[in-house]
Structure 1
Amino acid sequence: MPKPREQHRREPRELTELPYADHLEPFEGRLAQGGDYDTVLFDGQEFDDADASNARFIESAFTSVTFTGGRYRRTRFSDVWLSGVRWVGGDLTESTWTDAEIISSSPAGTALPGAAMNHVAFHRCKLDSVNLRAAELREVSFVECTLRDVDFMGATLTGVSFPGSTLERVRFDKARMSRVDLRGAVSLGISDGYDALHGATISGVQLMELAPMFAHILGVTVDNG
């Protein structure tokens, strides 16, 4: 049985490999509040300022879809597959993501405070200025991703890993971590929350890189004179 870190490095599935691929029906119409979208294929659509709050997406796939703005508060995404999706802005407060696979996608300026993510895999994604404050991430992997100005303030991270990913100006202040594996990250650009790394695993090289900040937090003066 492969180790968890090896599982996180495996290649994502293709659309045709999804167990529900043969049952997908092309989406027609508009997104609606409280809508139920079961085994639906969203392909190439552009949703501008849509309101799908409290909607449910179950065993559905999204390819080359663009979301601009919009309201998706408390929306549920269960067993979904997203590839080449752009999400510019948008309010996904307290949304729920379960068994989701997100590939080569680019959420930017997206608000996900209080979101719950369980068994979610990001592959080769670019997350820019994403708000994950007070979110709960359980068994989530960021594989070969770029996380720039991502805010995990007050979030709970359990079983989260970052193999091959680059972190730039990421905030972890007041976050709670358990079984968080940072060893595979290409770089650890953390702007706030070094003290929240309690519960995380880092490499010896990363420890040397972070040593000055750890010393500052502990009030240790390093004098090489």
Structure 2
Amino acid sequence: MGRELADLPFARYLTPIEEEPAREGDYDCVHVDDRQLDHVAAEHVRFAESALSSLTVTRGSFRYGRFTDVWLRAVAWIGTDLSDTSWQDTEFVEGALSGVDAGGAVLRRVRFEGCKFDSVNFRRAKLREVTFADCVLRHTDFSDADLTTVSFPGSTLTDLSLNKTRMRKVDLRGATRIGVADGLDGLRGAIITPLQLMDLAPSFASALGIAVADDR
């Protein structure tokens, strides 16, 4: 699943580091591996052509951080502030995000594979050319976010919040389940299958105040 560390074009140039990422730190071609980071303060940090693996970040802050051409495998973000971060040409493999604030984040050419999202805030975020492959998204909030050319092959989506979400070329046809808690009109601009439309029909009827009953 996903690329291995050795597959990265910059793998041979990676330098292991032991210290915690620092506020306004600038890291090029580094490898952070097998670490537990608690309450780390790394606002405005920058990572480029780097790898993060077997890492757990608990209640940290990476706000305004920039991640370019970064590979992440088995990284768990728990209760961490990723708001207003920028991610480009980045790959998340078998990761987990729980109680994460990614409000206002900008993601471009990002791939999530085999990742789990639980109560993640993507409010006001901008996602362009982003893929969620074989992922689980629960209680994920895309309110007031912009999604362009985003797809969800093999992913399960439940209790999504889509209030004022703007979608363009969003392909939901590969999703195994779509559940919207609120903001059904945020699906405008998405592509779904006829079967998915049938599954969503009760939610659409409820949102429109339509009572569905058997013939008498």
Query: Which interval holds the TM-score relative to the shorter structure?
Result: over 0.9
Correspondences of 1:68-217 after superposition (within 5 Å): 68-217=58-207
Unaligned runs of 5+ in 2: none
- The separation in 2 between residues aligned to 1:222 and 1:66, in whole angstroms, is 47
**Structure 2 Cα separation of the partners of residues 191 and 110 of structure 1:** 19
Q: How does 1:23-42 map to 2 (within 5 A)?
A: 23-42=13-32
Moved more, 206-215 or 94-103: 206-215
Cα distance, 1:32 vs structure 2: 1.0
CA displacement at 1:224 relative to structure 2: 3.7
How far does the alpha carbon of each residue in 1:76-130 deviate from its partner, in whole angstroms, 9 at most, with x for none? 0100000011111111110000000000011111110000000000000011111
> Could you list the runs of 5+ residues in structure 1 that have no partner in the other structure?
1-10
Quote the Cα distance in structure 1 between the aligned partners of 2:106 and 2:140: 16
The amino acid that maps onto 2:153 is P
Distance in structure 2 (CA, Å) of the matches to 1:76 and 1:45: 20
Percent identity over paired residues = 48
TM-score scaled by structure 1? 0.92
State the match for 2:5 in structure 1: 15
Q: Cα deviation per residue 1:128-186 (whole Å; 9 max; x = unaligned)?
A: 11111110000111000000111111111000110000011111111000000111101
- Greater fraction of residues in strand: 2
Instruction: Give the whole-Å Cα distance in 2 for the aligned partners of 1:55 and 1:49.
Output: 15
Measure the CA separation in 2 of the matches of 1:21 and 1:55: 21
CA-CA distance at 1:219 after TM superposition: 4.3
CA RMSD of aligned residues (A): 1.1
Secondary structure, aligned partner of 1:85: strand
Counterpart of 1:19 in 2: which secondary structure?
A: coil
Which residue does the alignment assign to 1:6?
A: none
